[in-house]
Amino acid sequence: MKQLNRRDFLKMGALVAGGAALASCTPAPAPAAPAAAKPAEPAKPAEAKPAAGAQKLEIFSWWTSGGEIEALNGLYDVFKKKYPGVEIVNAAIAGGTSSGGDMKAVLQTRMMGGDPPESFQVHLGGELLGSYVAAGQMEDLDFLYKEEGWDKVFPKELVDIASTGGKPYSVPVNIHRSNMMWYNKKMLEGVGAQPPKTWDEWFALADKLKAKNQPTLAIAESGAGFTAHVFETMMIPVLGPDKFKGLFSGSTSWEDKGIGDALNILKKALDYANPDFLNVGWGDVNDLMVNGKVGMIIQGDWTPGVLWSKKFQDFGWAPAPGNTGIYQMLSDSFGLPKKVKNRTAAINWLRVCGSKDGQDAFNPAKGSIPARTDADLAKYGEYHKSAMADWKKDKLVPSIVHGAAAKLSFMTDFMNAINVFATKKDTAATQAALVKAAKDAGFQK
């Protein structure tokens, strides 16, 4: 099979988007089973209060956790300084690793009702292009990219998965890496272990911790999403990056034996998870590791943002087992829905999202690296610098759970199939559910 390189990754993004656009001109379905929306975090008060009756800028996101709040407020602060007359309405709805499921459900209702917010958090790639753009809900941002010269400062990899038909539809604020392992240094040292490089090494470590009655793998599966994220990082080493990418372009079948093998790794690993994982949410799982109740979290690099905000420093990081040299990526962005109430404020928000000041205010607290290539490195720490170096040299693969690989309906099916697997542990039934989801999404016949 032809080896895919970084550039092919882009083509794949366009393919996914294009295929989805052809397949569907109807609005994306709302994610399954939205839980009750939690109240939004209030935006920090502006220094100079906008006058009564000021233009409102309503921003949807699912950033309500440590690291996320500081990062979002960083962007808001830059906006408030530049546009003091506009009132920001922070309409964040908690959603963590369900990849914003609750927010997306509310957003869908608002969009369908012709009442969109001025802008909303959306992942570049399939989620943006295959869902909101395919449904005709977004304005194209070609004019803004030209005015701001963004083609020159955003990597081509990102512009391509922000675009369809040669036009960009969203403004990336960052690049996250999802296939990472964050571990409690004391717990690993307690059994004399190094961070495991393969799943075999991982199980050897997990046995040592189990002998001390300590779970190794943090899982927060009170809703769908977290386990699916962990599972993606198991698929990558079994399939290899090229076959993994082929799952979304039709060149790899979801019937491949590798999918079943990866499910069996997950089945075994769940025996080493915090036993109450079906009742634990993402908000609490980080505390388990901070408090030495579980050895590690396999999650994206928003995790250091959460840990820093808890003033917890005693953690190390490494790529998830078998993932060295592979950068599973996703990018958070903001776009311009059609028919917003305050279009000028929305466009100015996007200018801030794409600006150097905005990105350097947002990313140091978030854990992600800036989308722009001209960041002020003095503002970033050790983790960010290692991620920036890896981004340049690693092979790129897109995240499923975080919207880069596929449209929303597939993401939801994928997360739900793995959520069921977490309780039933039925490999054959789960692979069959994934094959069906892939067929529904048009990835295979």
Chain residues binding ligand GAL by CB under 6 A are: 62-63, 68, 96-97, 99, 123, 176, 300, 302, 330, 332, 402
205 or 289: whose CB is closer to ligand GAL? Answer: 289
173 or 375: whose CB is closer to ligand GAL? Answer: 173
Instruction: List C-alpha distances in Å: 16 to 89, 160, 440, 441, 443.
Output: 33, 12, 13, 9, 8
80 or 402: whose CB is closer to ligand GAL? Answer: 402
Q: If you count them, how many residues does the chain have? A: 445
- Report how far residue 355's alpha carbon sits from residue 361's, in angstroms, rounded to the nearest whole number: 10
Q: Are strands 170-172 and 332-335 parallel, antiparallel or unpaired?
A: antiparallel
68 or 157: whose CB is closer to ligand GAL? Answer: 68
Burial class (CB within 10 angstroms; exposed 0-12, middle 13-18, buried 19+) of 271: middle
258 or 398: whose CB is closer to ligand GAL? Answer: 398
- Report how far residue 118's alpha carbon sits from residue 398's, in angstroms, rounded to the nearest whole number: 27
- Report how far residue 69's alpha carbon sits from residue 290's, in angstroms, rounded to the nearest whole number: 19
End-to-end CA distance of the chain: 20
Strand partners, 329: 177, 398
Q: From the CB of 250, what's the least distance to ligand GAL, in Å? A: 25
62 or 132: whose CB is closer to ligand GAL? Answer: 62
- Report how far residue 329's alpha carbon sits from residue 176's, in angstroms, rounded to the nearest whole number: 6
- DSSP character for 337? B
Strand partners, 121: 334
Cβ atoms of residues 187 and 295 within 8 Å: yes
